[in-house]
Chain A
Amino acid sequence: MLAVFLKELRSYFTSAIGYIFMGTFLLITGIFFTMYNLLSASPAYNNTLQSLITIFLFIIPILTMKIISEETKTRTDQLLFTSPLKIRDIILGKYFAAVAIFTISLLITVLYPLILSMFGVVSASEIFTGYIGMFLLGATLISIGLFVSSLTENQVTSAVLSFGVLLFIFLIDSIQQALPSTRTSSIIFALIIVAIFALVVYFSTKNIYAAVITAVVGIIITIGIYIAKKEAFDGLIQKVFDWFSLIKRYNLFSQGVLSLNSVVYYLSFIVAFVFLTIRMVDKRRWS
């Protein structure tokens, strides 16, 4: 894993990607810091951090676009997958390298609150929590980018797709407010999810019976829950969307609240997407 990690880390700096990522990140952080903290003489550094999230939307896809797709395209994956390394180690090595680049950039920005502390009182614990939240959010978004990169062998497709997914995650809070919260709409929503699930089963197994069984079981469960507990369907859409609202969770950190709940939430997101990536890469070798 270490060999892959070091190789990836190096490749960020032998290509332009590492420089573009760090350069953009640091430039915009600097601009925000100057505007929000220096010019307006405000010690509220967490607000600056929070506004950085918008940049993630644009630079995380750059960081992750070639992470797996490039290997597939140049066939260097043949070297990796015929070597005595586990796929898990290869993917983890790549993931940690991207996270390392992100972490290095983030650590450089620690200079800013230090500068602020020279002129007044800043809450160290609050900023520390803000940074932890920032790190977790970034690492989660990178894991999503990693997964998207494993879906395609074209870097541009990978970048655009990651951008789309991240944009959706950013807008999820605004979208859910516009969605209906009645019971009927929730049931329709549940059935759509069952249908999508059945389709996924069909396309991955090519077995119509398995898909039908999945659909039937899904419908039975939905009806069962409806009979047993009608109020579970109130605002179901909102609840589901809420689970995926990565940004909302970040706001807690930004306020200086370090809750274990949120840390576990982000970590489980990361584990899930890294795991999905490993499965995806593995599956391609089986199909």
Chain B
Amino acid sequence: MENVTKRYGDQVAVDGLNLTVKKGEILGFLGPNGAGKSTAMNILTGYISATDGNVRIDGIDILENPEAAKKKIGYLPEIPPLYLDMTVEEYLKFVHRIKKVKSDGIEASMTRIMSLVKILDVRGRLIKNLSKGYKQRVGLAQALVGDPEVLVLDEPTVGLDPKQIIEIRNLIQKIGKTCTIILSSHILSEVSAICHRVIIINKGKIVASGTPKELAKKANNSNIVLLRVKGAKPDVYKKIREIQDVKLVQEQGVNEPGTVDLLVEAKDDLDIRETLFVSLSKAGFIILMMKSKEIDLEEIFLDVTTNNKGGGM
């Protein structure tokens, strides 16, 4: 995607999006509701056209040669595009036909896809009688028809129960071994679990990008340790303040009687866990718990999308 912009009247939904996805990559689109995720995906798949900019799939421009470009894409929109009056089999057969799969290969391809997304047992049922989880799977099956090189999934796990979410995720990872996947979500754990690379967009612009780990590291530039120490609060507090490398001590309240929880931040990105242990045990305080606090994607997400300061990340 090059410089893609979409305007609705004066409203800018997607603002100069630049994006390259490598072959075989699983890319996550992250953003709050209304950030322009779905719009970006709709442009990518040629459902709507961009006001400005180009979209190229494997070097083919989607406006210049839509038929060839669309053949390479499988798209699962936010609401799966299902014909409720059809059975699963009829529906998939129709999708095969409109995706111009050769007619002698349709049967085999249908069985393969249905067993992959585990819908063989409902193949003869009307789609309107299926549960939400099954509908989502039929939607996914539809996107897989015609062996697309690029799979675009718009919030594939929304509205599913935890077990189904895990199943769909595993499925996506499995499919991801053979093709490029772009998926959007507003659930962070999901994106960090499946994706190789994450892009956070807000108000139509990319505000952060990188691997889930990279993003976590970038935000986690200070070393923070959460402690639970046996002893009276003022004494512990005083002792810790005496340690040289400590920059900041914050109380976290009392969660266990006779102990105190503290959040200790080190100076200059130092690892102070050892120092803390040695000096506290020397003074006779017993450390019951110590863990370094990792800033997770959740916080980066909130930080980036609420303050919008993270443009440089």
Near A by CB (< 8 A), chain B positions 43-92 give: 45-49, 66-68, 70-71, 73, 75, 77, 79, 81-86, 90
**B79 to chain A: closest residue by CB:** A75
Q: How far, in whole Å, are A7 and B91 apart by their CA atoms in the complex? A: 9
Given contacts A3-B98, A79-B95, A79-B142, contact A84 B70 (CB under 8 A): yes
Instruction: Name, among B42, B83, B90, the residue most crowded by chain A CB atoms within 10 Å (CB to CB).
Output: B83
A77: CB under 8 A from chain B?
yes
CB contacts (< 8 Å) of B83 on chain A: these are 7, 11, 74, 76
**B44 to chain A: closest residue by CB:** A82
Is A84 within 8 A of B71, CB to CB? yes
B97: CB under 8 A from chain A?
yes
Q: How far, in whole Å, are A46 and B67 apart by their CA atoms in the complex? A: 47
Chain A, interface SS category: helix
User: Hey, what's the 0/1 contact readout for A1-26 against B, CB within 8 Å counting as 1?
Assistant: 01110010011001100000000000
CB contacts (< 8 Å) of A14 on chain B: these are 85-86
The A/B interface has a contact count, at CB < 8 Å, of: 67
CB contacts (< 8 Å) of B47 on chain A: these are 78, 81-82, 285
Is B46 within 8 A of A81, CB to CB? yes
A286: CB under 8 A from chain B?
yes
Give the total of A residues in contact with B, Cβ under 8 Å. Answer: 24
User: Hey, what's the 0/1 contact readout for A88-102 against B, CB within 8 Å counting as 1?
Assistant: 000000000000000
Is A83 within 8 A of B70, CB to CB? yes
Is A7 within 8 A of B100, CB to CB? no
Is A285 within 8 A of B70, CB to CB? no
B94: CB under 8 A from chain A?
yes
A86: CB under 8 A from chain B?
yes
CB contacts (< 8 Å) of A86 on chain B: these are 67
A85: CB under 8 A from chain B?
yes
Footprint of B on A, CB under 8 Å?
A: 2-4, 7, 10-11, 14-15, 74-86, 285-287
A-B contacts besides A78-B75, A84-B98, A84-B99, 10 pairs, CB < 8 Å? A3-B94, A15-B85, A74-B84, A78-B47, A78-B81, A82-B47, A83-B95, A84-B70, A85-B67, A285-B49
